[in-house]
Amino acid sequence: MFRWSSPLPSVPIYTLTWNIGDEFGGLTSSAVQRTNAFARSGHRQVEFLTLSPNMEPVARGDELKRQKKLHKRVRIRNIWHDLRSASEDSLRSLTGNLDKEITVPKTRLLKYKGQLYTEKTGKDREVIQTDYFREDGTIFASDMLKPKLQGRKRGRLITCFSSSGAQLAQWSNISEFYYSWLDKLIQGQEAVLITDSAGIGGRMRNYDRTNVVKAQVQHNCHLANAAGPIDGPLTERWKNIIVNSDKYDFLALLTDREREDLTATQLDPGNLVTVPNMFRGTEARRLKPRPKSQGILVGRLAPGKQVDHAIRAVSATSAARLDIYGSGQGETPQQLADLIESLRVGDRIIRRGYDPLANERFRDASYSILSSRSEGQGLVLLESMAAGCIPIAYDVRYGPSDIITDGVNGFLVSPDDIDELTRTVKHVTSMSNAELDRMRHAAVERARDFMPDTIVQLWAEVIQNALDTKMPQNDEAVAAQLVRLHNGDTYFTIEATVTGFSSEVEWAAIAWTGRAKNLYGRVSAQITEGGNVTAAIPVERLSQDTDETFDIYIDIFCAGRPKRLRLNCDDAVELQRNQSIEPYCTVKSNVSIRSHASGK
């Protein structure tokens, strides 16, 4: 009998996300595409795990399969629907994280209203309690914020119930509840868990299991200012991932340039890898004729996408047309509609709304526009090029220049330069058919480098390496203690000692994170005899226009794993200060630094 071979390791691979909604963008699209590709590879079943209570997994999976967006071997599972139908024995296998049970009075539970869950809101209309019910109306879980119960007045309390109403397990936070469900699914087997969003990935950073390889994909530029210095502030959305990147077995970047920049700024804990996006579908085998004036833009109608730039560029080109596919929230969609009307180009620039098959429209367009302020890689570029649709993209960090060779298979435009974007649109719409044909074929050829088979092979290699090098968690009582601190004019020097490890520290670094701003940095440290580590932080890295407080850490790599330690201090160590930099010892005996603006 013929057996399908796969480069992927023969362990369960899960993708974990919040939801797969009716309208999803590039991040979810790339996660779905990757999961589909894993399912095709070796004809294996792959599971998409979801956490939203508004996700009906079977119905949504069937719908996506009818739309040919989900492979037949991909199964969608949902935590709430799983627990709703779970047996009593299965529910009893869940492990809570509270040492002492807190009794939830029956009078505090909500009534069944014929649906999966019932909500209760507080005075400010914030949801303060959500109770979940089986189809027979019995409660199986209650999630309370600020429960005000004996033994727990604040925080959160999640309780799981048997069909008879007996309390089975309790959790003090939702992340631990998710971990318990994952443990029930994985059942101690060797497995791989991949997260894509910053929110879900951030929650999973402390899901430490010796049998589970934990991977996070970094989908967007990590810098708050994509055009700024590479050691500038981090974007608020992804700061939690970058600062805690050592918590994952590997962090997958979409481009080499971003990985190199993180390495250059010493933010690589040794687990960064590059695995690009892949495009959906197949590349165009035969390029169909299309009007050279017809353009397309596919993406969310959000401020960061700067769709208004594309509208202005096309409106200034009389021979150009543009179809815009995508939806958005807030004021942006109406603002774009008003702009089209004010420019009187409604006959040439048409908003098509959200279309689940928008990627197929690239085959009918001559060119596409990507005018975003920042990107991770730009999945729409690959989809455009695979269809022979010539991409015009702002040359932002990161993505476009990693895919497009300017003037060969597309065009790169200086970021935020609407005049240059206009000139490029005029140029593309006036090119000869022979020139356009050559560029279309070059675009298709470049897209082949990102075909699923190629990218799955890359995933297989990094997953196998993570499985091979997975080390058990080190539970040794390790600590970092400040020995000496020198506050100079140009450098802030720290010497510390690391104790508690039974094996040798392989490398070390000093790291700092800002409390008010999304600032994060790290410098290499020297390891001296006796286990001391010494590093010098440039004062300019800590100096800010406004007051800021930094917490100081020691990052080490030992026994095959990175580890972050808060730097401790005591009264015996003198903490020198100057006009702008003031180190101090916190109430928990840790080192922090106040940076004063203008040396005040």
For residue 221, what is the domain's CATH number? 3.40.50.2000
- Determine, yes or no, domain membership for 288: no
218 and 78 in a single domain? The answer is yes
Distance of CA 159 to the CA centre of its chain: 29
- Determine, yes or no, domain membership for 130: yes
Which one of 172, 187, 212 terminates a domain? 172
pLDDT of 132 above 50: yes
580: CATH: 2.60.40.10
The amino acid occupying position 55 is M
Contact 100, 107 (CB under 8 A): no
C-alpha to C-alpha distance for 41 and 4, rounded to whole angstroms = 8
Kindly indicate the confidence band of residue 475, based on its pLDDT and cuts at 50, 70 and 90.
low
Cβ neighbours of 479 (radius 10 Å): 16
235 and 112 in a single domain? The answer is no
User: What is the mean predicted confidence (pLDDT) over 315-329?
Assistant: 93
77 and 122 in a single domain? The answer is no
Please calculate the CA angle 368-369-373 and round it to the nearest 5 degrees: 155
Tell me the CA distances in angstroms from 549 to 375, 395, 491, 546, 584, one per residue in order: 30, 34, 17, 10, 10
- Determine, yes or no, domain membership for 298: no
Q: Shortest CA distance to 395 belongs to which of 380, 381, 374?
A: 374
152 and 268 in a single domain? The answer is no
C-alpha to C-alpha distance for 495 and 252, rounded to whole angstroms = 33
Q: Which residues pair with 484 in a beta bridge?
A: 495
Contact 29, 197 (CB under 8 A): no
234 and 382 in a single domain? The answer is no
Residue 352's domain comprises 303-447
pLDDT of 152 above 50: yes
| 266-298 per-position pLDDT tens digit | 999 889 999 999 876 666 678 888 999 999 999
| 60-74 per-position pLDDT tens digit | 999 999 988 899 999
Question: Which H or E run contains 158?
Answer: strand 156-161
pLDDT of residue 2: 42
C-alpha to C-alpha distance for 449 and 453, rounded to whole angstroms = 10
| 237-250 per-position pLDDT tens digit | 999 999 999 999 99
- Determine, yes or no, domain membership for 211: yes
165 and 193 in a single domain? The answer is no
Q: What is residue 289's three-state secondary structure?
A: coil
198 and 68 in a single domain? The answer is yes
Cβ neighbours of 509 (radius 10 Å): 21
pLDDT of residue 473: 66
User: What is the mean predicted confidence (pLDDT) over 157-180?
Assistant: 96
Residue 75 Rama label (left phi>0; alpha psi -120 to 50; beta):
beta
Structure tokens at 176: 């631990």
- Determine, yes or no, domain membership for 1: no
User: What is the mean predicted confidence (pLDDT) over 205-225?
Assistant: 94
C-alpha to C-alpha distance for 100 and 313, rounded to whole angstroms = 64
- How many domains is the chain partitioned into structurally? 4
Which one of 396, 431, 447 terminates a domain? 447
Question: Which H or E run contains 59?
Answer: helix 57-66
C-alpha to C-alpha distance for 159 and 109, rounded to whole angstroms = 11
The amino acid occupying position 541 is R
Q: Are strands 411-413 and 390-394 parallel, antiparallel or unpaired?
A: parallel
pLDDT of residue 550: 94
| Burial bucket for residue 515 (CB in 10 Å: 0-12, 13-18, 19+) | exposed
C-alpha to C-alpha distance for 291 and 284, rounded to whole angstroms = 17
C-alpha to C-alpha distance for 551 and 583, rounded to whole angstroms = 10
230 and 132 in a single domain? The answer is no
Contact 532, 497 (CB under 8 A): yes
The 3 state secondary structure assigned to 537-556 is EEHHHHCCCCCEEEEEEEEE
Distance of CA 2 to the CA centre of its chain: 39
Q: Shortest CA distance to 359 belongs to which of 26, 64, 31?
A: 26
pLDDT of residue 444: 94
Contact 116, 53 (CB under 8 A): yes
228 and 195 in a single domain? The answer is yes
Within 8 A by CB and 6+ apart from 175, the residues are 203, 204, 206, 207
- Determine, yes or no, domain membership for 474: no
User: What is the mean predicted confidence (pLDDT) over 143-151?
Assistant: 84
**DSSP characters over 107-148:** GGSPPP-SSSEEEEE-TTS-EEEEEEE-TTS-EEEEEEES--
Q: Which residue has the tokens 């397990």?
A: 169
pLDDT of 223 above 50: yes
Residue 599 Rama label (left phi>0; alpha psi -120 to 50; beta):
left
Please calculate the CA angle 205-208-211 and round it to the nearest 5 degrees: 130
Q: What is residue 94's three-state secondary structure?
A: coil
Among 372-386, 419-433, 554-568, top mean pLDDT goes to 419-433
Kindly indicate the confidence band of residue 333, based on its pLDDT and cuts at 50, 70 and 90.
very high
Kindly indicate the confidence band of residue 476, based on its pLDDT and cuts at 50, 70 and 90.
low
Phi first, then psi: give them for residue 549, nearest 5 degrees: -120, 130
Cβ neighbours of 346 (radius 10 Å): 11
- Determine, yes or no, domain membership for 454: no
Distance of CA 384 to the CA centre of its chain: 23
pLDDT of residue 25: 75
C-alpha to C-alpha distance for 310 and 313, rounded to whole angstroms = 5
Distance of CA 455 to the CA centre of its chain: 19
433 and 484 in a single domain? The answer is no
- Determine, yes or no, domain membership for 452: no
113 and 246 in a single domain? The answer is no
User: What is the mean predicted confidence (pLDDT) over 98-124?
Assistant: 94
The amino acid occupying position 567 is L
Which one of 172, 204, 235 terminates a domain? 172
313 and 443 in a single domain? The answer is yes
Among 106-120, 148-162, 370-384, top mean pLDDT goes to 106-120
Q: What is residue 446's three-state secondary structure?
A: helix
Q: Shortest CA distance to 82 belongs to which of 175, 12, 187, 182?
A: 182
pLDDT of 212 above 70: yes
The amino acid occupying position 472 is P
| 512-551 per-position pLDDT tens digit | 999 888 889 999 999 887 778 999 998 888 887 778 999 9
Tell me the CA distances in angstroms from 77 to 53, 59, 266, 274, 453, one per residue in order: 11, 11, 38, 28, 26
Please tell me which residue, 565 or 357, carries the higher pLDDT value: 565
Structure tokens at 409: 């298979």
**DSSP characters over 461-499:** HHHHHHHHH---------EEEEEEEEE-SSEEEEEEEEE
pLDDT of residue 363: 92
Among 108-112, 136-140, 398-402, 430-434, the minimum mean pLDDT is found in 398-402
In the structure, how many helices (H) and strands (E) does the chain have?
Answer: 16, 27
